[in-house]
Amino acid sequence: MWAFLKKDILVLLRDRTELAVLLLMPFILIVILGFSLRGLMAGNTEALNMQVALVQNDDEQAGITEFTEQLETLELQEQTVAGMAAAAEQASPFRTLQMMLASPELAEMISVEEMGAAAARDALEEEEVVAILTIPENFTRLALDKMLLGTGPGTELALTIEDTTSTRADVFETLISDFARALNFETAASRVAAEEGISLEGQGAMELGGLETTSSGEPVDSFQYYTLGIAVMFVLFVSANVAGNTNVERNRHVFDRIMLSNRHPFMYLGGKAISAAMIAFTQLFILFFLSTLVLQAFEWDSLNFWLGMALVSAMLSLCAGALAAFLTTLTVRLNSDAITTVFSGGIVTIFAFLGGSFIPLTGMPDIIQELGNWTPNGASLTAFLQWVQQRDLAAVTDPLVRIGGTAAVLFALSLALFPVKGAN
């Protein structure tokens, strides 16, 4: 078995084109995708950093005072008046907006600067700010009337954007829209509750905007995601490469020589599987090392973290070995290189898409996510992401079982189908 392993590794090491495909290309893809899509990943908001101008035409405190004074002119119970006055003080719409923008998640990317209308206009034209948020006159007073008393025309925030194609402006517009929608919903809910005599106290404050995260663990940045996504995809190419050599061996009649040596054909098959597994593990190790060294994708100092990564890598490599054995079996059985060509030219791409190597599957239809989880690369990516986010072995058990199961099935099929006679 060692002879087959050594031979396969030496052949690969001497083939610079193949080495470049298996090592250089994935790293280049990691760098390109990591940089270009880092703004879209949770955990990495630097690309969305933005300056926003705030034009304040409202006197918030005066608005609250006017609203409170107005309450005393209405025929309301003293207790109700006191409650509404307190609510106006605490839930002033502008204050709520300020709190939202000052939240740790948003403060990281949005920097709000209060300006005069003319200065804000200039800043927008000079592209120093991506948007102008204008608080109109009597905003507080009119908003409180509508929110707490259900009277008056209400009010609107004004958002001015110069470049409507800007992702950052789009993000800010979405945030403000979400804020307004949530405020309106809260207002409606409060009014209905008041009419129905239901108390909303203790229900907690309604969340206004905020960042959506895909899991309960640490967010994954784009370099981490694509290091893992691209690495698990390129492991599939290792299987195709090792199996593809079978056809070269057949064409060169080296395969016949091996069969004539009286070695059991399973030795040859086993050699392919072990070679692919070892090459895949080495490939994963090199890609993780490079990403950590050059892109600081992962931390160096946690032995526990790397042991977990090694465990998932080992399972994926095992599966890559079984896949190589299966492709080898089909190549020998059908006496054709079409199997590996179709696999590396088409099936890997489909698996990569389904498995989430190119784009995260969050938001995709359930059926795609489910299918992706049954691909070796998809299950491995899930396992890697779970480990990076949660560092909990229990969280990766399910995908690891799937990878192991796939490996066992592929290897069993290979053993069952490989032509043991070696003669045709």
Partner 1 sequence: MLETEGLTKSFKGKKAVEGVSLYLDKGESVGLLGPNGAGKSTTISMISTLARPTSGDVRLNGKSVVKDPSAMRSVLGVVPQEIALYEELTAHENLQFFGQIYGLSGKPLETAIQHVLKLVGLEDRQKETVKTYSGGMKRRVNIAAAMMHKPDVIIMDEPTVGIDPQSRSYILEMVRRLNKEEGLTVLYTSHYMEEVERLCDRVYIMDHGSIIASGTKDELKRILSGEETVWIELDRAYPELFAELKMNEHIIQAAETEKGIKLIIPKGKRMLAEIFQLAERHQAQILNVNVQTPSLEDVFLHLTGRKLRD
- Which residues contact partner 1 by CB under 8 A? 2-4, 6-7, 10-11, 14-15, 251-254, 256-263, 267, 421-424
Q: Least Å distance between CB 18 and partner 1?
A: 10
Give the residue with the Cβ less far from partner 1, 191 or 263. 263
Q: Which is nearest to 401 in space by CA: 342, 339, 319?
A: 319
Give the residue with the Cβ less far from partner 1, 95 or 250. 250
Q: Which is nearest to 388 in space by CA: 277, 223, 236?
A: 223
Structural tokens at position 159: 């958002």
Q: Least Å distance between CB 261 and partner 1?
A: 4
Q: Least Å distance between CB 253 and partner 1?
A: 4
- Residue 174 sits at the vertex; the CA angle it makes with 171 and 177, to the nearest 5 degrees, is 155
Q: Least Å distance between CB 245 and partner 1?
A: 9
Q: Least Å distance between CB 259 and partner 1?
A: 7
Q: How many CA atoms lie less than 13 Å away from 41 in the CB half-sphere?
A: 21
281 three-class SS: helix
Give the residue with the Cβ less far from partner 1, 3 or 188. 3
Q: Least Å distance between CB 343 and partner 1?
A: 22
Contact in structure between 119 and 43 (CB atoms under 8 Å)? no
Structural tokens at position 323: 């896949």
Give the residue with the Cβ less far from partner 1, 207 or 256. 256
Give the residue with the Cβ less far from partner 1, 24 or 420. 420
Structural tokens at position 366: 């359930």
133 three-class SS: strand
Structural tokens at position 176: 């403000």
The residues, any chain, with a CB within 8 Å of residue 335's CB and separated by 6 or more, are: 250, 424
Contact in structure between 123 and 161 (CB atoms under 8 Å)? no
Contact in structure between 407 and 319 (CB atoms under 8 Å)? yes
Q: Least Å distance between CB 382 and partner 1?
A: 37
Give the residue with the Cβ less far from partner 1, 10 or 393. 10
Give the residue with the Cβ less far from partner 1, 14 or 195. 14
Contact in structure between 159 and 188 (CB atoms under 8 Å)? no
What are the beta bridge partners of residue 50? 110
